[in-house]
């Protein structure tokens, strides 16, 4: 791992990154029209261009990178526009693939939850149990016994509430999960699928890292810089501020790869797929550091936001000021999280069935498959789609 993560001094210029690749290379015909310049669209553009295909990549936003987009704000602090993005994966293939376009800064993410007078680690670990219950559990065996005594088994485990209460019991559920989940989703955990909490298990060790993956690192100069390198190819034309609807008829020769919302592609013919949205309030302070870790969660429903992020922990940037962002969840706005409920999944399945019958378009990414994916999973999905496409292409040529 050390050999792959190339360390180098981390210094930032105070200027914006150079503007993204322009449309200077535009041509009249393309092999592929790719909609969305996030991970899904950019990985496919890069792979197909490397194979000699001409690609037109459009995004309705004025920037590349999709939801992983980062930029230097007016004070020169590198921030993430759509919420904190921490890269982690167990896949060497995915890590090696992205390493062609960036060096990395090793970063282990840590999160504390603000509970009454305490700030305690999440996911819940032995330190959390000792702090919350005023105990002195000395090792994993003692912590496991204690947790087992708190757990309230239920069968079957169907909802997010069942999943948590059966692992850690009602006290920890109410303090750490219930309010946070209600704010995050606008629904009580008893109304949400159990899959919602699979990302926040409890541990009996005192390991306080948020992720346990083999590779945990941030692109050394940020995500946007990494995307710029990925898309810097003579066969890729990037068209920003461009709606798919405005150009979909201009390139009938091209196969479409769509990474936007699948219901939008089919004109919402079965109804809208519901999403939870987020809003961010950014503040810059005259201080080198404000928080002890990158993210503090606020499970209490008396606080309107769900969490505060301090970006310099993630990026390692050295700067006399610091920027934090408050995160508020809501129903309206940009689509962020698919809402994991069985009726929504059933609606998605209707769209998926039409998608399977549509041979002129391929759907890839989190919005197109209506599922929460981490960045590495989307890269993996895009690489797998590319492999399938090149196999199909090879067999067409052979035929």
Q: Where along the sequence are the contacts to ligand FAD (CB under 6 A)?
A: 35-41, 58-61, 66-68, 83-87, 243-244, 259-260, 264, 278, 336-337, 365-367, 373-376, 378
Whole-number Å distance between alpha carbons of 173 and 391: 48
Output the smallest distance, CB 66 to ligand FAD, in A: 2
Residue nearer to ligand FAD on the CB measure, 165 or 230: 230
> Shortest Cβ distance from residue 261 to ligand FAD (Å)?
6
Q: Which is nearer to ligand FAD, 132 or 351 (CB)?
A: 351
Between 328 and 373, whose beta carbon lies closer to ligand FAD? 373
Percent of residues in the chain assigned helix, strand, coil, to nearest 5? 35, 20, 45
For the CB of residue 360, give the shortest distance to ligand FAD in the complex, in Å.
Answer: 16
Q: Which of 315, 320, 375 is nearest to 79 (CA)?
A: 315
The smaller minimum CB distance to ligand FAD, of residues 60 and 229, is found at: 60
Question: Long-range contacts for 390-393 (Cβ within 8 Å, ≥24 apart)?
Answer: 390/51
> Residue 50 CB, nearest distance to ligand FAD (Å)?
18
CB of 279 to ligand FAD, least distance (A): 11
H helix count then E strand count, the chain: 12, 17
Residue 270: exposure state from Cβ atoms within 10 A (0-12, 13-18, ≥19): middle
DSSP states of 223-283 as a string?
HHHHHHHHH--TTEEEEES--HHHHTTT-TTSEEEE-S-HHHHTTTTT-PPPEEEEEEEEE
Least distance CB 375 / ligand FAD (angstroms): 3
DSSP one-letter string for 189-206:
GGGSBGGGGGGS---SS-
Owner of token pair 């939008």: 264
CB of 136 to ligand FAD, least distance (A): 33
Q: Which is nearer to ligand FAD, 53 or 80 (CB)?
A: 80
Q: How far is the CB of 20 from ligand FAD (least distance, A)?
A: 12
- Of 39 and 173, the one with the shorter C-beta distance to ligand FAD is 39
| Sign of the C-alpha dihedral computed for residues 135, 298, 370 and 386 taken in this order | negative
CA-CA distance, 375 to 97, in Å (whole number)?
Answer: 13
**Nearest to ligand FAD of 86, 355 (CB atom):** 86
Contacts of 397 (CB under 8 A, 6+ apart): none
* Cβ-based nearer residue to ligand FAD, 33 or 143: 33
């Amino acid at each position: 791992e050390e050999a792959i993560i190339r360390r180098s001094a981390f210094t930032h210029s105070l200027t914006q990154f150079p503007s993204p690749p322009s449309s200077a290379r535009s041509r009249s015909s393309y092999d592929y029209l790719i909609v969305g310049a996030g991970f899904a669209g950019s990985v496919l553009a890069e792979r197909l261009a490397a194979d000699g295909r001409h690609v037109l990549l459009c995004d309705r936003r004025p920037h590349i990178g999709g939801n992983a987009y980062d930029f230097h704000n007016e004070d020169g602090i590198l921030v993430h526009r759509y919420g904190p993005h921490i890269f982690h994966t167990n896949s060497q293939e995915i890590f090696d693939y992205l390493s062609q376009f960036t060096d990395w800064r090793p970063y282990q993410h840590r999160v504390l939850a603000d509970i009454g007078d305490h700030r305690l680690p999440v996911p819940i670990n032995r330190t959390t149990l000792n702090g919350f219950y005023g105990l002195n559990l000395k090792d994993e065996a003692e912590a496991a016994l204690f947790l087992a005594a708190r757990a309230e088994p239920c069968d079957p485990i169907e909802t997010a509430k069942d999943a948590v209460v059966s692992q850690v019991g009602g006290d920890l559920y109410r303090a750490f999960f219930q309010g946070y989940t209600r704010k995050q989703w606008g629904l009580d955990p008893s109304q949400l699928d159990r899959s919602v909490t699979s990302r926040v298990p409890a541990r009996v060790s005192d390991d306080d890292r948020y992720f346990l993956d083999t590779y945990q690192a941030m692109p050394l100069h940020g995500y946007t810089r990494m995307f710029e390198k990925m898309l810097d190819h003579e066969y890729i034309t990037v068209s920003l501020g461009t709606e798919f609807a405005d150009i979909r008829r201009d390139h009938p020769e091209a196969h479409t790869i769509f990474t936007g919302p699948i219901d939008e592609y089919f004109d919402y013919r079965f109804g809208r797929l519901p999403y939870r949205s987020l809003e961010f309030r950014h503040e810059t302070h005259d201080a080198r550091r404000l928080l002890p870790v990158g993210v503090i969660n606020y499970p209490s429903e008396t606080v309107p936001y769900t969490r505060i992020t301090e970006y310099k922990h993630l990026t390692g940037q050295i700067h006399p000021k610091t920027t934090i962002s408050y995160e508020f969840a809501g129903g309206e706005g940009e689509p962020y999280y698919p809402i994991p409920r069985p009726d929504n999944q059933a609606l998605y399945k209707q769209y998926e069935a039409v998608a399977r019958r549509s041979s002129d378009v391929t759907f890839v990414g989190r919005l197109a498959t209506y599922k929460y994916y981490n960045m590495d999973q989307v890269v993996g999905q895009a690489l797998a789609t590319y492999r399938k496409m090149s196999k199909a292409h090879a067999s067409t040529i052979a035929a």
